[in-house]
Structure 1
Amino acid sequence: MWPMWSNEIIKGAGLGLRTAFIEEIYDYNLKPNWFEVAPENWIKKGGYLKKLFEKIRQDFPFICHGLSLSIGSPDPINFSFLKELKDFLDYYEIKLYSEHLSFSYFKGSNTYDLLPLPFTKEVADNIIEKLKIVQDFLNRQIAIENASIYLILEKEMEEYEFIQYIIENANCKLLLDINNVYVNSVNHGFNPYDFIDKINPEWVMYYHIAGHDRIEENLIIDTHGQNVIDEVYDLLRYTLETIGNKPVLLERDNNIPPYKELLKEYKKVKDIVENEKKFV
């Protein structure tokens, strides 16, 4: 029923699909190479919006980026949700799926936030075991996303070591959020370029880039509610040169401008990606 888009087709710059502009996708000559969708926002959707979603799915490659797996939670896996997710991915023939390296459920209650994790072997081993189960259930290799972190909890290893340990033992991939690297570097006082240098290109499935809000000189909140700043664009360029030209996703979740204006920012991301000739 749907085109089976291969991983090779998902390249260049993509855009997070939002209902705020879903009716305008076909109104402009410039169209994203691909879209990223949050399955939780569409699994139970029906009517007019579902028809629009399915029309776009017919015409564009999709990646799914989840919100509710809560892979870092001490709670058991929610297999009811996992079944809904698999059915959605299979029905729409979406091969690639990513999730946040964080947790949102604790003792059965939804915190409605993406909470940071202690960088400990015990936590990492719990995540590894869950990822193996989830990947087997979904019949897909998934990617985990480095999180924005505002509070450092117990730490036996550095963040990149935590990520490395999980990826190498769970045989999963990394969704490298470049804005989150920058946000964390400001909030916790490290060099974001040094962090990028520690990332193995073979880990990376694709990149995220987004805007943020600066609350104080040394406090940035990852809101996805502003335009991407020059410092993050510079870090994107460095990442493309250092790690390689993987697909890049522009996120905008809050304070969404008119779609015509959003396309201007998308065009900037697209131009940066297409001007970087190194592919891995």
Structure 2
Amino acid sequence: MNDHPLRTGLGLRRGLLPELLTMADGVVDFLECAPENWIGVGGAYGQGLERLAERFAIACHGLSLSLGGSAPLDQAFLARTRQFLERYQVRLYSEHLSYCSDDGHLYDLMPIPFTDEAVVHVAARIRQAQDQLGRRIAVENISYYAAPYQAMSELAFIRAVLEEADCDLLLDVNNIVVNACNHRYDALAFLQGLPVERVVGMHVAGHYDEAPDLKVDTHGAPVKEDVWSLFASACQRFGVQPTVLERDFNYPPLDALLDETARIRQLQQAAGSVRDE
């Protein structure tokens, strides 16, 4: 099972657990979870995770490492995460290119100022995390609304961090669509500016159109057509990468989610190539 290519995935959420346990083999290639939501969890949830891990590969997408923060990285948490990744033979681990703590957890993903100093700071923390985890990690481009100081563009900042840290990119296609609308740039040009060799996975998700010039990243609705269109372009540019459908609330019946993962697979197949993992 763990040698199978990771192509089409679905987010593993506790609210979906009963339905995920009924899924037929092969409808998705893997499930993606936030390790901090499952580390040390026992009872019915822990047993559910074990049962799913026997049938599906597990990928991990972290929430609380706070790579852009100022407080020292949590060494105990990194150690527990490494154990979790090794236990479940996780091949793809990603985190957010953001910070989420400041003298306590902020319960949100905050954007990092786009400056040379921030590049050096966050890249050093990514390298430290990679050393502690014993593996390369991928960082995800986040959605943001109130932009901090920008001495460079978002695209230039991401490219600089990837180069300085020598890490990979988890490409969130929905976040590009959201940011392109809210910050007035061209989504396809942004996509084409990203380094092909760094992209090792993708996310698609739903958002809410608050106004013609304002999109809100919700993960609580079906994927919109502009995201599907950009995802098709991403598959053409970056090859077929492990791609997760993220849905965090407003869960529809499982069949509706599997219709969306089937569309991921369809667009991947149309792209026609799978980059070596």
Output the TM-score relative to the length of structure 2.
0.95
Name segments (4+ residues, structure 1) moved above 4 Å.
Answer: none
Q: Give the equivalent residue in structure 1 for 2:52.
A: 56
Distance between the aligned counterparts of 2:5 and 2:92, measured in 1? 10
Once the two structures are superposed, the pairs formed by residues 235-246 of structure 1 within 5 Å of their partners are: 235-246=230-241
Distance apart, 1:26 and its partner CA = 4.7
Q: Give the equivalent residue in structure 2 for 1:195.
A: 190
Of residues 212, 221, 241 in structure 1, which corresponds to 2:216? 221
Contact 2:9 2:28 in 1 (8 A): yes
Q: Give the equivalent residue in structure 2 for 1:179.
A: 174
Distance apart, 1:23 and its partner CA = 2.1
Secondary structure (helix, strand or coil) at the match of 2:191 reads helix
Count the aligned residue pairs. Answer: 274
Distance apart, 1:228 and its partner CA = 0.5
Contact 1:248 1:273 in 2 (8 A): no
Q: Give the equivalent residue in structure 1 for 2:41.
A: 45
Of residues 53, 58, 65 in structure 1, which corresponds to 2:61? 65
Distance apart, 1:275 and its partner CA = 2.2
Q: Which stretches in structure 2 are left out of the alignment for 5+ residues? A: none
Of residues 128, 139, 162 in structure 1, which corresponds to 2:123? 128
| Residue type at the aligned position of 1:100 | H
What is the RMSD of the two structures over their aligned residues, measured on CA atoms?
1.4
Q: Show CA shifts across 1:89-123 (max 9, x none).
A: 122222321000010001x2111100111001111
Contact 2:21 2:52 in 1 (8 A): no
Secondary structure (helix, strand or coil) at the match of 1:21 reads helix
Contact 2:139 2:167 in 1 (8 A): yes
Distance between the aligned counterparts of 1:209 and 1:50, measured in 2? 27
Secondary structure (helix, strand or coil) at the match of 2:169 reads strand
Q: Give the 3 Å change call, closer, same or farther, for CA 40–277 of structure 1 in structure 2.
A: same
Moved more, 189-198 or 235-244: 235-244
Distance between the aligned counterparts of 1:141 and 1:202, measured in 2? 14
Distance between the aligned counterparts of 2:274 and 2:255, measured in 1? 30
| Residue type at the aligned position of 2:38 | W
Once the two structures are superposed, the pairs formed by residues 78-157 of structure 1 within 5 Å of their partners are: 78-106=74-102, 108-157=103-152
Q: Give the equivalent residue in structure 1 for 2:28.
A: 32
Distance apart, 1:243 and its partner CA = 2.1
Moved more, 14-23 or 87-96: 87-96
- Give me the identity figure in percent: 36
| Residue type at the aligned position of 1:176 | L
Output the TM-score relative to the length of structure 1.
0.94
Distance between the aligned counterparts of 2:240 and 2:86, measured in 1? 28
Q: Give the 3 Å change call, closer, same or farther, for CA 218–53 of structure 1 in structure 2.
A: same
Q: Give the equivalent residue in structure 1 for 2:228.
A: 233
Distance between the aligned counterparts of 1:165 and 1:25, measured in 2? 39
Residue 74 in 1 paired to residue 70 in 2? yes
| Residue type at the aligned position of 2:236 | E
Distance between the aligned counterparts of 2:21 and 2:43, measured in 1? 19
Distance apart, 1:28 and its partner CA = 4.3
